[in-house]
């Protein structure tokens, strides 16, 4: 009973609170720098974005206080009702939200615009934590894994219906939490392979080596190596692996020698036939050993080939034209400095001009002359890079990584699966936002409109991340109760 009487202010993780406060403060100052108005230089002017952000920050601290005052058990008890409530709100948003820049994701509530997708992350994290922490739940059971995926896919689908692709992709980051809770690493590997196959297959799709499409050839060769690698990992027989390598090399050398005699052919057909023969050998290995991992290898190979030959269809017939252009610009397939590539091009100029030490606070020319669109929202990081230079941008990234690492530490010390799972959900979402936003600003990722946590202007994003973080702190503070 004495432990239950410990004050919340003594058990709260103040290290995390300090990191949160520092990031919010730097974000506020950065918004002021990005939206600086020469006619009105006051950072406290409530008619300017810095002043409005200060209001959102004040309300965020109020929300944080309320979350800390709630009983920690309430988060687990109300997990499903909160999730259902946010899903209904997402459905309402599809029909009632006005169209803004091609999407219907903002609800207008008087003078305030609210983006429900930012708050639905909280509900999804709670619901996943409640599901996985339920009695006798094992994620490796197919039915249980399907339930967890359904909780993630539902908000993704609803947000996609709002035509807000960036916000929907954030929910895919929860796969890292699933991996921590026992999901096979094969799914993460499959995700990595799909990204690599998509990028290589698309980027080099227009190149030809004779009559052979280079993009498809490169990916098929990668599939061969993945197939052999999986056999080596699962079958654990180096003689078999050696035979596969020798056979693949022999076929390739033979076909190459044939070209010396003037025989031309499409190498895509050759490597496809090689994959087919290797797959037959994998079937033989399965029949000999009854090793189910061989069937996994076979299925992985077949799906990989199907995925490769569906890339062009997905890209040209399913993706929107603006999405196609952004991906082409990001992959260097298309140069559009005045169109889709304008934001990224100007952002890279701003960051590059900052050099090592930066131009100084409020001295960024790209920022002050408004060359970078959305520079106080999605592209806020370029303001830091221009004015504070490499060291300032690095410091911000280090602070974020320190916060994420601390959240992981908090998650690991939880005495319940609910607290641990919820903590990893928060860490996954923060990491995804950081990686994609910074990658987007420096041209490594397509522009998909993902804000930088605690920095990008707006109440919805700041409140959403504040709720995620301080709910975790309250759960963590109550971990000693009843023990």
Q: Return the pLDDT at 140.
A: 87
Determine how many CB atoms are found less than 10 A away from the CB of residue 309.
14
DSSP string, 293-322: HHHHHHHHHHHHHHHHHHHHHIIIIIS-HH
In terms of Cα–Cα distance, which of 425, 379, 378, 395 is closest to 126? Answer: 425
Joined tokens for residue 6: 């410990």
Judged against a pLDDT cut of 50, whether residue 202 lies above it is answered with yes
Judged against a pLDDT cut of 80, whether residue 222 lies above it is answered with yes
Could you give the 3-state DSSP secondary structure of residue 264? coil
Q: Return the pLDDT at 5.
A: 43
CB 460 within 8 A of CB 115: yes
Strand partners, 113: 108
pTM of this prediction exceeds 0.85: yes
Judged against a pLDDT cut of 50, whether residue 226 lies above it is answered with yes
Rounded distance between C-alpha atoms, residue 399 and residue 438, angstroms: 14
Judged against a pLDDT cut of 70, whether residue 214 lies above it is answered with yes
Q: Name the band, by pLDDT with cuts 50, 70 and 90, for residue 480.
A: low
Please name the helix (run of DSSP H) or strand (run of DSSP E) that holds residue 77, with its range, or none. Answer: helix 73-77
Judged against a pLDDT cut of 60, whether residue 475 lies above it is answered with yes
pLDDT tens-digit profile of 233-273?
Answer: 998 888 999 999 999 999 889 888 887 777 778 899 999 99
Judged against a pLDDT cut of 90, whether residue 374 lies above it is answered with no
Q: What is the DSSP letter of 209?
A: E
Judged against a pLDDT cut of 90, whether residue 375 lies above it is answered with no
């Amino acid at each position: 009973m004495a432990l239950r009487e410990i004050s919340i202010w003594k058990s709260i993780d103040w290290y995390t609170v300090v990191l949160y406060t520092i990031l919010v403060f730097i974000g506020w100052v950065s918004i002021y720098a990005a939206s600086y108005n020469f006619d009105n230089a006051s950072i406290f002017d409530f008619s300017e974005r810095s002043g409005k952000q200060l209001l959102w920050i004040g309300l965020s601290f109020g929300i944080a206080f309320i979350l800390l005052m709630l009983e920690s058990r309430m988060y687990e008890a109300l997990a499903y009702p909160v999730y259902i409530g946010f899903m209904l709100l997402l459905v309402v948003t599809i029909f009632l939200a006005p169209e803004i820049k091609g999407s219907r994701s903002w609800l207008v509530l008087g003078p305030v615009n609210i983006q429900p997708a930012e708050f639905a992350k909280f509900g999804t994290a709670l619901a996943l934590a409640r599901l996985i922490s339920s009695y006798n739940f094992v994620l490796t059971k197919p039915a249980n894994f399907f339930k967890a995926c359904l909780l993630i896919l539902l908000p993704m689908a609803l947000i996609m219906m709002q035509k807000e692709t960036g916000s929907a992709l954030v929910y895919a980051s929860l796969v890292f939490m699933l991996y921590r809770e026992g999901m096979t690493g094969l799914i993460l590997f499959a995700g990595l392979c799909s990204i690599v196959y998509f990028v290589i297959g698309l980027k080099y799709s227009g190149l030809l080596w004779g009559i052979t499409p280079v993009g498809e050839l490169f990916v098929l060769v990668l599939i061969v190596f993945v197939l052999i690698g999986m056999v080596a990992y699962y079958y654990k027989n180096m003689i078999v692996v050696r035979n596969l390598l020798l056979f693949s090399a022999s076929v390739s050398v033979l076909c190459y020698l044939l070209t010396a005699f003037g025989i031309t052919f499409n190498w895509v057909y050759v490597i496809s036939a090689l994959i087919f023969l290797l797959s037959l050998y994998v079937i033989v290995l399965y029949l000999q050993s009854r090793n189910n991992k061989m069937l996994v290898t076979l299925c992985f190979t077949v799906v990989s080939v199907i995925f490769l030959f569906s890339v062009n269809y997905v890209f040209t017939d399913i993706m929107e034209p603006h999405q196609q252009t952004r991906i082409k610009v990001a992959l260097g397939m298309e140069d559009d400095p005045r169109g889709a590539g304008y934001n990224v091009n100007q952002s890279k100029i701003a960051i590059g001009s900052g050099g090592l030490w930066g131009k100084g606070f409020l001295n960024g020319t790209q920022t002050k002359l408004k060359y970078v669109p959305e520079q106080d929202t999605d592209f806020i990081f370029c303001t830091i890079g221009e004015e504070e230079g490499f060291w300032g941008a690095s410091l911000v990234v280090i602070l974020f990584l320190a916060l994420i690492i601390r959240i992981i530490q908090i998650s690991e010390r939880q005495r319940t699966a609910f607290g641990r799972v919820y903590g990893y959900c928060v860490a996954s979402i923060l990491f995804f936002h950081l990686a994609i936003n910074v990658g987007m600003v420096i041209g490594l990722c397509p522009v998909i409109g993902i804000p930088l946590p605690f920095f990008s202007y707006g109440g919805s994003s700041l409140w959403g991340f504040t709720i995620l973080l301080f709910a975790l702190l309250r759960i963590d503070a109550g971990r000693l109760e009843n023990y």
